[in-house]
Structure formats: structure tokens, C-alpha cells
Amino acid sequence: MTRYTNSSQPATTFSLDGEEVPFTPGDTVLQAAHRVGRYIPHLCWHPGMHPHGSCRLCSIKVNGRPAAACTALASAGLQVENQTPAMQAQRKALLQMLFVEGNHFCPSCERSGNCLLQATASHHEMEGPHFEEFYPARPVDASHPDVLLDHNRCILCGLCVRASQAQDGKDVFAIAGHGIEAHLVVNSPSGKLGDSALSVDDSAAQICPVGALLPKRRGFETPIGERRYDRHSVADAHTQEATAQGHEEDPT
């Protein structure tokens, strides 16, 4: 159904949890919501990247039917449910599954406090993992002089893949395999990061929302209490990925 704000001007808003959100043609629901500071949880989405639709944390209901907010196009009069108890419970279960599938032991991770997965789980009041731990034993690639790749922490969001292609023009990363066997691969003769074209200054090296890709020799450089999500709520859509320049940058 098309709604109109007056007799001649077509409406360019949709309803997000009962509040009207303006959009421009071509916007996705998540893009439009992010622009006005409305938080729809997400991990694989980034404002500078094409949507991936893989993490499903941004699942919403559009006119009563489930959809991914990062891929669903906004249109006038949509009725979008976002922060409902049912959607929040579903997101919490997704977060719990992500935690048990990898090694997300926060006390040992240099990304702690700057980690989107950690902050999102905290926001959703995830107290325990609920599911059985996988305890994966995937390789850690320390071959690059400036960047560490820990496959145990990769959530397969594909942000490094897209950033390397679209922003760095290098095609360093890809996701291979299917289902539980899906994994990140590195485009180099040896398959090692050290033999790839990746530079620590590349967007791909800095865009990882978790601790899978980390710059070396910067571990724990920001004290507890001063890290990104110590100072900013993950629900503030303008503080978490305002730029593609990584998590160490001050978002204020």
C-alpha cells in the first residue's frame, strides 16, 4: 500500500517500530535507519560496503515477513519491526551461535573493547553461550610482518573480502567452502598472508569487526575504560563504523 504525506507528494518514509524513517530511493532499510541514528544490530554490514546479508543479525520483519535489513529495499509505507522481544531473542541466539563456533575468549583478544561482536552481545544481554562449545582448532597465520590472521575468530562476515576488492583493488581475501567448512582464504602463492599483497594500511586489514585480522604490535594499547565500546554504546549507529579506517580511530 502506498501512503502519501499530502495529495501531490508521495511519502518517502517507512515505519520502524512505529516511528517514521525517511529514505531516498535505492536505500536499504538498514542504510536509511543508520542515517537517522536508529540502531538495527548488524555485523557483516558496513556503510561503505555493498550488503552481504550473511550474518542475519539485522533480521527484521517487513510487513510481517522476515527479511535482512541490509538487503531489504526501503519503500514508502513499509511496516518494519526491529526492536521487538522476539527479534531480540532471535538475535541473541544468533550471537550465542557465533560465539560457540569460534574462539571468542575475550580476555585474551586484543580487539576486546573495540569488538563489534562483543559489544553487540553485551547490548543484547548475552550472559552465557547456551550452546555447546565447538572449540575449533583452526590455523593462526602470523606470516605477515604487520597483520595477524586468526581463523579461530573469523565470523565470515566477508567485510575484508569486499574491502579488498572494492576499496583496495587487491582481491586478497575470499570465502571458500560451504556450511561448517566455510573459511577465509588468502590469495597468494602459498596461501599465507605474508605472501599476499595486503598492506597494514589497506581497508581490508582494518575493517574486521572482530579480532580475526589484527595489526601487529598494537595489542592492548588502549587501556580498559577508554576503548571504543567502553565510551560509546554499540546502539549509537554513528559511532561504530563511521569510517572504514578501522577500530582504533576515535569515533567522536
Partner 1 sequence: MSTAHPHHAPAPPPYPALPRRKLKVATCSLAGCFGCHMSFLDIDERILQLIEHVEFDRSPLTDLKEVGRCDLGLIEGGLCNAENVEVLRDFRRQCHTLVAVGACAITGGLPAQRNAMSLPHILGEVYQQREGLKTGCAIPNDPELPLLLRQVRPLHEVVQIDYFLPGCPPSADSFWVFLTDLIAGRTPRLASGPIRYD
CA distances in angstroms from 41 to 82, 148, 158, 192, 204, listed in the order given: 9, 27, 17, 33, 22
* Residues in binding contact with partner 1, number by CB under 8 A: 26
Closest CA to 196 of 220, 229, 223, 160: 160
Q: Which residues, other chains included, contact 51 with Cβ-Cβ below 8 Å and sequence gap of 6+?
A: 28, 30, 45, 68, 70, 71
The answer to the question of residue 118 lying near partner 1 (CB under 8 A) is yes
Beta 79-81 vs 140-141: how paired, if at all?
Answer: unpaired
What DSSP state is assigned to residue 10? B
| CA-only gyration radius of the chain, Å | 19
- Least distance between partner 1 and beta carbon 234 (Å): 9
The answer to the question of residue 50 lying near partner 1 (CB under 8 A) is no
**Interacting residues with partner 1 between 129 and 188 (CB under 8 A):** 129-130, 132-133, 135-137
**Interacting residues with partner 1 between 208 and 237 (CB under 8 A):** 224
The answer to the question of residue 124 lying near partner 1 (CB under 8 A) is yes
Could you write out the DSSP letters of every residue in 28-88?
A: BHHHHHHHTT-----SS--TTS-----S-TTEEEETTEEEETTTSBP-TT-EEE-S-HHHH
- Least distance between partner 1 and beta carbon 110 (Å): 11
Cβ closest to partner 1, residue 114 vs residue 206: 114
SS3 170: coil
Among 125, 176, 181, 252, binds partner 1 (CB under 8 A): 125
Cβ closest to partner 1, residue 65 vs residue 181: 181
Closest CA to 79 of 2, 16, 24: 16
- Least distance between partner 1 and beta carbon 152 (Å): 8
Cβ closest to partner 1, residue 110 vs residue 202: 110
Cβ closest to partner 1, residue 148 vs residue 205: 148
Among 93, 106, 174, 175, binds partner 1 (CB under 8 A): 106
Residues near partner 1, by CB under 8 A? 99, 104-109, 112-113, 118, 121-130, 132-133, 135-137, 224
